[in-house]
A = this chain, B = another copy of it.
Amino acid sequence: MGVTITTPDRSRLVDLRRTFHEYPEPGWCEFWTTARIVDELETIGVDEIHVGPDAMDTSERLGVPDEAELEDWFERARDRYDGDSDVFDKIEGGNTGAVAVLERGEGPTVGLRVDIDALPITEADGADHDPTETGFRSENEGFMHACGHDAHITFGLGTLEAVKDSDFSGTFKVFFQPSEELLGGGKAMAAGPHIDDVEYMIGTHIGLGHSTGEVVAGGRGMLALNRMEVAFEGESSHAGLAPNAGRNAVQAFVTAAENVYAIPRHKEGATRVNVGRLHSTNPANIVADEVSAELEVRGDTTELMEYMRDRVERTLESAAEMHDCSVDYSLTGEAIRHDSDEVMVERVVDLASKIDEVTAATRWAEFGGSEDVTYLMKEASDSGGYATLIVIGTDHPGDHHTPTFDVDEESLGVGVSVLSETALSLFDDPVG
């Protein structure tokens, strides 16, 4: 390697991680988080900072909460924010997220994507939970960085800091993506103005059952996903006096639900379908005029997900028609399938195995869930480039998405080393 990297020291990374851990915000509500990221980017001194509408195509955002909820989080964030920031004007209304750019002349463009949103989980408050013990437990009761996105933000900032003064030729972009948990932000960022020139796209995730010091290069098997909010609307009538006079939204819904589970298996591979969040307020003495639910489908490939989505839509519409109701469904989250490229995987394994803190560098993490970094990875592929996921191991006491999840802060440095080495190596010696 022809470059020297100065990884930020441990305490700097720990500070950053704890700062963000303490104030978790859900998807499209990362107002304070975005403002703080921008502050740090200014401190680091990157060449460009694009915020909110300048960072993505906001019309492609999925699953944006309603006005009241956005407003509530926005006000809370502004109250908490120390000092002034014109960032707030840009991000109001759920336009969170940012892209940071280091420009170093001719050369390839390398992208790193980190996600920044938190989960609606109440953080553990036992003495054996380090954030509680040490004093940086979530201040937003009921919300928590329970999937390590606080560490991911730290990876993004730390890697910029590490790379900034290196002698490389090309462009380095870090995508601070909102709303990954609900698969709402990947599509919007991939549709934004900063992805087109990216030749190498790196996604990263901490933990996933791998210990501190382990690095896994490459991810595959993530299912493509489509999630929708569904609302059947009928007409009420008295269930005793005039059952025939209603247009029964419960009957429309249950017919749809029965049948979406029965969509034929597909010969090309795995498919999934599930229905949740049922809601209807009409008491039993009233024929229901509304039922809402959430519905998701998945597929081994984007095409299989689309097969399921098309069948679901046909089923919803026919079920509504059958019971003389109407149905609305709107996309609230989506991810495509895109596996890592073998050449990138090999490069990362090579590099990682030379890094001291890395105790084991292996290939291919198998995912069963869904991730919307795939949109950004696919953009790189479609432009003739390459992409990979890199899993940075960390000892985590509780599972992801549970109240006792925590990261081993020793792994923060490992992540920054691996990610910055990978980025710089791609400038120095492009793969593919």
Contacts A254-B258, A315-B322; A284 near B240 (Cβ below 8 A): no
Q: C-beta contact mask, A269-298 vs B, less than 8 Å → 1, else 0?
A: 111111111111111111110010111101
Cα(A293)–Cα(B288), bound, Å:
12
Q: A251-B261, A255-B255, A262-B258 are in contact. Are A267 and B283 (CB under 8 A)?
A: no
Contact A272 B239 (CB under 8 A): yes
B residues near A287, Cβ cutoff 8 Å: 264, 274
- Cα distance A244–B251 when bound, in Å? 22
**Beta-carbon contact of B280 and A284 below 8 Å:** no
| B284 engages A277 (CB within 8 Å) | yes
A160 lies within 8 A of chain B by Cβ: no
13 A-B pairs within 8 Å (CB atoms) are namely A240-B272, A243-B265, A251-B261, A255-B258, A259-B322, A267-B368, A276-B283, A276-B284, A278-B278, A314-B324, A315-B322, A318-B319, A318-B321
Determine whether the beta carbon of A262 is less than 8 Å from that of B264.
no
Residue A307 interfacial (CB < 8 Å): yes
**Dominant SS among interface residues on chain A:** mixed
When the two chains form their complex, are residues A284 and B278 in contact, meaning their CB atoms are under 8 A apart?
A: no
In the complex, the answer to whether B265 meets A272 with C-beta atoms within 8 Å is yes
Q: Is A76 an interface residue (CB 8 A)?
A: no
Most buried by B among A257, A264, A291, A298: A264
A407 to B348, CA, bound (A): 54
Which A residues, 101 to 118, have Cβ-Cβ distances below 8 Å to chain B?
Answer: none
Whether A276 lies near B272 (C-beta < 8 A) is no
* Residue of B with least CB distance to A222: B240
Given A251-B262, A280-B276, the answer on whether A223 and B240 have CB atoms closer than 8 Å is: yes
Which B residues are in CB contact (< 8 Å) with A278?
Answer: 250, 253, 278-280, 288, 291
Interface size on A, as a range, is: 35 or more
Q: Is A248 an interface residue (CB 8 A)?
A: yes
Contact with B along A310-321 (1 / 0, CB 8 A): 000011011101
A370 at the interface (CB under 8 A from B): yes
Asked whether, in the complex, the Cβ of B259 is within 8 Å of the Cβ of A243, the reply is no
Q: Is the CB of B261 within 8 A of A244?
A: no
Say yes or no: A243 contacts B255, CB within 8 Å.
no
Residues in B with CB closer than 8 Å to A269 are: 270
- Find A244's partner among B265, B314, B369 (CB 8 Å cutoff): B265
Q: A298 contacts which chain B residues (CB < 8 A)? A: 239-240
Q: Which residues of chain B are near A324, meaning CB under 8 Å?
A: 314
**Alpha-carbon separation in the docked complex, A338 to B256 (Å):** 38
Is A10's beta carbon under 8 Å from chain B?
no
Is the pair A276, B286 in contact by a Cβ cutoff of 8 Å? yes
Residues on B with beta carbons closer than 8 Å to the beta carbon of A271: 265
> A277 CA to B286 CA in the complex, in Å?
10
Q: Is A44 on the interface with B (CB-CB < 8 A)? A: no
Cβ contacts under 8 Å, A239 to chain B: 272-274, 276, 296, 298
